[in-house]
Amino acid sequence: MNNFDAIVIGAGSAGLPCAYYLAVEGLKVLVVDKNPSAGQGENKAAIGGARATHSQPAKIRLCMESLRVFSSWKEEHGFDVEWKKGGYCFAVYRESDEASLKDLLPVQRKFELKIDWVDADSIRELVPGINPDGLRGGTYSPDDGQVSPLLVSASYHALSLARGVKFAFNEEVTEITRSDSKITGLRTQKGAYSSPVVVNAAGARAREVGRLTGLDVPVTPDSHEGGISAAVEHFLGPLVVDLRPGPEGKSANFYFGQRSEGQLIFCYTPAPAILGTDRNSTSEFMPVIARRLIELIPRLRNLLIRRTWRGLYPMTPDGVPILGRVPEQDGMFLAVGTCGQGFMMGPGVGRNMASLITTGKPLMEDDVFETVGFHRDFGATKVEALK
């Protein structure tokens, strides 16, 4: 009963797709999560932005696959996950931001991503009511979009159950068992499960789970807040990113979009970063982001805010995820460290990990996949600071 082909630790943005695509490949899969149901870790904290227009090639490949999955979800599975192909728009007011975004375009175009620099008038059309003072233009990538993290995790859970995946909720992994260098399974406070394959998809807790087999997986939790308004008439297509730091000295870039149901959903990057696992909302977030939203789009001044929350980015030193096998531990795999982009990478992570585990090869090119390996030089890759 407790024997599986693969066990995934974590029913989150990465773990759920890993489990589902492993089951599609015919494996008998168990997912263990300390929470009572699927998607209750950081998955539900995400605001649902999904773009392939990154600068790091593996992230581009992962998200190209995710966008393919999100955009065809309803057709393929019959569930509506509120996919909105509204694009991403980086609205630019500083010369330095213009230069760095333009520098990224050749890499992005190499992957045939649709993205261009557009002038200030075009940005004003894309973002009605945007403050025109000093607006230089920006990038627009029409194939990116937004999708509901809650609906995606609920759908992956339902599809996984239908494929025979077992879920052990309310169970915390306390031990990963081995015989010499081979993984043999794991233990929770409730029981033991055996499997030759264990995938660490433990999100912000990936380092703790790594320590169970003596690995130091460099994932550090980093606290971020988000919020959502009441629904208003639809006026905004793209998810908008403003790269400037806030004048109050507490926020770096900030980003927001309008969901297909009309609510505005928003976040900022705290400056300096707030490391740690605190998930309590602060009284600082709303005044800071309200001022920034109103400064950028004055017509938002009467927006009714419904709720704020706080979650954790599973950060790596170079801002790039850690995916693949652990060479020294036969059967140990990592699907962690997706930073502030773990929801959008989820389906791509799941498809690549399932392919790697069942065929020995990832979905993307081997040399691109190597850049997300556990043994890479974490000092060598440039941190991608953009959301």
Ligand X SMILES: Cc1cc2nc3c(=O)[nH]c(=O)nc-3n(C[C@H](O)[C@H](O)[C@H](O)COP(=O)(O)OP(=O)(O)OC[C@H]3O[C@@H](n4cnc5c(N)ncnc54)[C@H](O)[C@@H]3O)c2cc1C
Binding footprint of ligand X on the chain (CB under 6 A): 9-15, 32-35, 40-43, 45-49, 172-173, 201-205, 209, 224-226, 267, 311-314, 336, 338, 340-344
Nearest approach, Cβ of residue 67 and ligand X (Å) = 11
State which residue, 224 or 325, has the beta carbon closest to ligand X. Answer: 224
State which residue, 48 or 319, has the beta carbon closest to ligand X. Answer: 48
Determine phi and psi for 335, rounding to 5 degrees: -135, 70
Nearest approach, Cβ of residue 134 and ligand X (Å) = 27
Nearest approach, Cβ of residue 38 and ligand X (Å) = 8
State which residue, 18 or 23, has the beta carbon closest to ligand X. Answer: 18
With beta carbons less than 8 A apart as the criterion, state whether 201 and 335 touch. Answer: yes
Nearest approach, Cβ of residue 123 and ligand X (Å) = 21
**Residue 47 to residue 84: CA distance in whole angstroms:** 13
State which residue, 32 or 296, has the beta carbon closest to ligand X. Answer: 32
Residue whose C-alpha is closest to residue 199's, from 312, 324, 314: 324
Nearest approach, Cβ of residue 380 and ligand X (Å) = 22
**Residue 139 to residue 91: CA distance in whole angstroms:** 7
Residues in the chain: 387
**Residue 337 to residue 342: CA distance in whole angstroms:** 8
State which residue, 325 or 387, has the beta carbon closest to ligand X. Answer: 387
CA trace torsion 338, 344, 349, 354 (10° rounding): 150
**Tokens at 70, concatenated:** 């999100």
| End-to-end CA separation in angstroms for the chain | 43
Look at residue 21 and give its three-state secondary structure. Answer: helix
Helix or strand (DSSP H, E) at 13 = none
Nearest approach, Cβ of residue 279 and ligand X (Å) = 9
Q: At what angle do helices 15-24 and 342-359 cross, to 10 degrees?
A: 30
State which residue, 137 or 149, has the beta carbon closest to ligand X. Answer: 149
**Residue 33 to residue 168: CA distance in whole angstroms:** 6
Nearest approach, Cβ of residue 50 and ligand X (Å) = 6
State which residue, 11 or 183, has the beta carbon closest to ligand X. Answer: 11
Give me the residue whose beta carbon is nearest to ligand X: 12
Helix or strand (DSSP H, E) at 203 = none
Question: CA 183 → CA 146, 211, 300, 349, distances in Å?
Answer: 38, 14, 54, 21
Nearest approach, Cβ of residue 238 and ligand X (Å) = 13
State which residue, 98 or 144, has the beta carbon closest to ligand X. Answer: 144
